Amino acid sequence: MNDVSVLAEKSLDLVIQHFEVENFNKQIFKDANKENPFDVLIEKLTVVINDLIDYDMGKLLNILYKIDVDERQLKQILSEEKPENIAHEISKLVVEREKQKVLTREKYRD
């Protein structure tokens, strides 16, 4: 397993924890034929975030606060993106933030 795969799996674990999506597991990377596992994660997370935007925006904002997504970037997405692209752009922010957390934890673990 390469470093990108390990980083993607650890990021996935954080996404599962924060978004409480039991149907996500490491199999999503094996089932997809994409080279970049982060693209797969963003694609799957976009569906979840889109549902939260439609049905429970408060819960989504609470999750994003807990994850510590950059508020300035989030406001920019919400105000400037086309409605059909908002969930995808937020997913990219979330995955990038979770990736940063994993890298920081690895750096200071030893």
Domain of residue 18 covers: 3-109
Asked if residues 11 and 38 have their Cβ atoms less than 8 Å apart, the reply is yes
Residues 41-70: tens digit of each pLDDT: 999 999 999 999 999 999 999 999 999 999
The pTM assigned to this predicted structure is 0.90
pLDDT of residue 76: 97
Residues of the chain with pLDDT under 50: 1
Asked if residues 63 and 19 have their Cβ atoms less than 8 Å apart, the reply is yes
Q: How many domains does the chain have?
A: 1
pLDDT of residue 31: 61
Q: For the chain, where are the alpha helices, taking DSSP H only?
A: 3-19, 27-31, 37-55, 57-67, 71-80, 86-109
pLDDT of residue 110: 65
pLDDT of residue 32: 61
